[in-house]
Amino acid sequence: MDKHLKAVMMKRTERTMENLRKNRMQAWYVESREEVVPLLETLIKEGDTVACGGSVTLFETGVIDHLRSGRYIFYDRYEKGLTPDQITEVFRKSFSVDAYLTSTNAVTENGELFNVDGRGNRVAAMIYGPDNVIVITGWNKIVTDLEEAINRLERIAAPANAVRLSRKTPCAETGFCQDCRSPDRICSSYVISRQQLVPDRIKVIIVGEELGY
Ligand code: SF4
């Protein structure tokens, strides 16, 4: 990346981290995806129970492979051959794990996390249950405010996820949200996480790379 652009992105990241901390979340910056797993090893104890939300970022950063390494007890929603009932069981167990890992749809410079789910299992676990919630995000998901977060959801995150999940939604065809009535709609629960009642429960790792969508 051009060094001047990087300098601007760093300022934006620092501003975001400062406001996340004001909102009683912990925040870290790492320059590359390779630094994510070593940091996780300091945040999750060996033998802890862990689970994750659906996320391309977790695959891109090697986190899913790390969770599968045997170091933890991993309730793996992606395990091959799981029936729908077994996946539902994994989602339920996720509410009581020691550490829940996920990405976010957007993080605002005001220190807010913005997430939208269809089923709601990911946002539910982010809100309540696990004592540790670790959010890993590329700095491409930093936005100025909630208006931009919604725009990002409707123009990037949701359409790309609808394509990834082979959903029959208008956004999968056109690339933008049409507030659909499709039975395949993936946008049901809209959650903004601001100042936290439990300090430091949510930990945000911002990576200086483009990750996920
Ligand atoms: S509401 Fe429907 S059209 Fe809009 S982003 Fe969600 S799934 Fe796509």
One digit per residue, pLDDT tens: the chain, 213 residues?
899 999 999 999 999 999 999 999 999 999 999 999 999 999 999 999 999 999 999 999 999 999 999 999 999 999 999 999 999 999 999 999 999 999 999 999 999 999 999 999 999 999 999 999 999 999 999 999 999 999 999 999 999 999 999 999 999 999 999 999 999 999 999 999 999 999 999 999 999 999 999
| pLDDT value, residue 176 | 97
Distance 119 CA to ligand 1 centre (A): 14
Q: Is the CB of 158 under 6 A from ligand 1?
A: yes
Give the full edge-to-edge strand order of the sheet including 202-207: 26-30, 202-207, 132-138, 99-102, 49-52, 73-75
CB 52 within 8 A of CB 130: no
- Residue 116 phi/psi, 5-degree rounding, is -130, 130
Q: What is the Cα–Cα distance from 68 to 130, expressed in whole angstroms?
A: 19
Q: Is 117 in the pocket of ligand 1 (CB under 6 A)?
A: no
> What is the side-by-side strand order in the sheet with 113-117?
142-143, 106-108, 113-117, 189-193
User: Is residue 150 within 6 Å of ligand 1 at its C-beta?
Assistant: no
Domains along the sequence of the chain with CATH: 3-207 (3.40.50.10420)
User: Could you report how far apart the first and last alpha carbons of the chain are, in Å?
Assistant: 19
Q: Let me know the angle formed at the C-alpha of 22 by 134 and 154, rounded to the nearest 5 degrees.
A: 60
Going by CA atoms, what residue is nearest to atom 7 of ligand 1?
185
Q: Does residue 181's CB lie within 6 angstroms of at least one atom of ligand 1?
A: no
In whole angstroms, what is the distance from residue 95 CA to residue 128 CA?
Answer: 7
Structure tokens at 132: 């540790």
Number of neighbouring beta carbons within 10 Å of residue 89: 13
